Amino acid sequence: MDYRKYKDTVYIRMDKGDEIVGGILDICEKEKIFSAVFSGIGGCSEAQIQTFIPESGTFETRIVQGMLELVSLNGNVVSGTDGLFAHTHALFTYKDGNGAHRVAGGHIKAITVLYTAEIELRPVQGGTIGRQYDPETGTGFWSFE
């Protein structure tokens, strides 16, 4: 992984074997970025895609592997009581075992890079967005306090 900061934006190149979500959080910690938004594209080998189940307050995780074209990565980083938290969504295209083209996407737990990923990280300017737990839904939301 390598990155450069130009003015207020961080441009990240992730390499084979890098984990995207953790890498973004590592850069935020190193650069003292407490809230940001990010987007990106790339070629990946594995994605852990989650679906939130409101009735149980848990996530179901589906692992997709192979040559995954990361066609859209979007998310944010906010500060919570336990440190930094990334909320990430992504969309992948790939060919299944029968050669059919497929699409998979949703909430992301982790993504492993196969070739490269190119990510733009834009820190929030003039303040910090926090995260607060919502007991009604069992999830966290932005807090502007």
**120-129 confidence digits (pLDDT tens):** 999 999 999 9
Q: How far apart are CA 142 and CA 140, in angstroms?
A: 7
* Amino acid identity at 122: R
Most confident of 3-7, 50-54, 140-144: 3-7
Contact 40, 88 (CB under 8 A): no
Please indicate whether residue 14 or residue 97 has the higher confidence score (pLDDT).
Answer: 14
Write 21-27 long-range contacts (CB < 8 A, 24+): 21/75, 21/86, 21/88, 21/108, 21/109, 21/110, 21/111, 22/110, 24/75, 24/77, 24/86, 24/119, 24/121, 25/77, 25/84, 25/86, 27/3, 27/121
Domain-by-domain residue ranges, the chain?
2-143
What's the CATH fold of domain 2-143? 60s Ribosomal Protein L30; Chain: A; (3.30.1330)
The model's confidence at residue 58, banded by pLDDT at 50, 70 and 90, is confident
Confidence at residue 123, expressed as pLDDT on a 0 to 100 scale: 98
Three-state secondary structure call for residue 66: strand
Q: How far apart are CA 11 and CA 126, in angstroms?
A: 20
